[in-house]
Amino acid sequence: MSTESNYYVPEQSRLPIMAATGLGFIAYGAGSWVQGGNAMFFLAGALILAFTLYTWFSLVIKENMAGMNSDQLKRSYVWGMGWFIFSEVMFFAVFFGSLYYVRNLALPWLGNETNTLLWDGFEAAWPLMTTPDMVANGEAAQFVGPAENMSFPGWGKLFSWLPLWNTIILMSSSVTVHIAHTAIKNNNRGKFNLWLGITVALGAIFLVLQVVEYMHAYQHMGLTLETGIYGTTFFMLTGFHGAHVTMGTIMLLIQFLRGLKGHFNAEDQFGFEAASWYWHFVDVVWVGLFIFVYILA
């Protein structure tokens, strides 16, 4: 029997345990931070994870550029990215499922069947502007609803509605990243760098506009994480999506810098392809958010 193996066996590395340690610090630190503690553990975990990923990805890139990656290893990268995106789909499915449960099951039940038992006079309507706590306790309520909601403001204010511009920006970025993908497939490096750079810029613009939207919501609309279930679901969904846009923008920025260094060609550009897959996923999630959080609010 032949003793040769077609499977790639990586050398021993401390990087996986370092990544797990960083994620553990982040998880513990985030929980402590939310409960009123300081952010030291969270920041320490973020630094550990960032250093680990930088070192790990640099090593992978160097190995690939040196021609050390076999076809079997490259297939494992494809499967790994596919399962990662699938896990992200399940992540957002939970939040969309929570939104559906609150709007279509819990809220009607509380408003109709238990109205007179718990909160006499409470009206079930979404977005929930008047919380049950406000109805039960009046001015002494701890959980106060927002003054305004983020739903469609009417045709007269359409072009000043930030979610619409964010949608246009993200949909445009899907087109530009596809143009960049087509360019590198044709070995047109100049066109690839141009359109990938535009995509990164569009991602950054989206994040800036989301910060502006959050500031407006907090300062002028009274919509915060503490304004009942509507504020909680709104910021959880859009906030986690914003975190994913941030990560996707960083991924594409790294691919852009690699492109400027001459990396990628028509036959080998999986690093960019993986980032572009993730970016298209982030765009699809935003379409769902725009419809169910903003339009159908």
Question: 256: domain CATH number?
Answer: 1.20.120.80
Based on the fold, state whether residues 61 and 175 are members of the same structural domain.
Answer: no
The band of 116, judged by pLDDT with boundaries at 50, 70 and 90, is low
3-state secondary structure the chain: CCCCCCCCCCCCCCHHHHHHHHHHHHHHHHHHHHCCCCCHHHHHHHHHHHHHHHHHHHHHHHHHHCCCCCHHHHHHHHHHHHHHHHHHHHHHHHHHHHHHHHHHHHHHHHHHCCHHHHCCCCCCCCCCCCCHHHHHHHHHCCCCCCCCCCCCCCHHHHHHCHHHHHHHHHHHHHHHHHHHHHHHHCCCHHHHHHHHHHHHHHHHHHHHHHHHHHHHHHHHCCCCCCCHHHHHHHHHHHHHHHHHHHHHHHHHHHHHHHHHCCCCCCCCCHHHHHHHHHHHHHHHHHHHHHHHHHHCC
Based on the fold, state whether residues 154 and 41 are members of the same structural domain.
Answer: no
Per-residue pLDDT of 175-218, as tens digits, reads 999 999 999 999 999 999 999 999 999 999 999 999 999 999 99
Domain containing 268 equals 69-295
Task: Residue 61: give its domain's CATH number.
Answer: 1.10.287.70
Number of domains in the chain: 2
The band of 22, judged by pLDDT with boundaries at 50, 70 and 90, is very high
Based on the fold, state whether residues 45 and 116 are members of the same structural domain.
Answer: no
Based on the fold, state whether residues 76 and 193 are members of the same structural domain.
Answer: yes
The band of 19, judged by pLDDT with boundaries at 50, 70 and 90, is very high
Compute the average pLDDT of residues 41-59. 93
Give the per-residue pLDDT at 112.
72
Q: Is residue 7 part of a domain?
A: no
Compute the average pLDDT of residues 222-244. 91
Give the per-residue pLDDT at 63.
85
Q: Is residue 5 part of a domain?
A: no
Q: Which of 44, 68, 92 is the last residue of a domain?
A: 68
Task: Kindly tell me if the per-residue pLDDT of 27 is higher than 50.
Answer: yes
Give the per-residue pLDDT at 74.
84
Q: Is residue 186 part of a domain?
A: yes
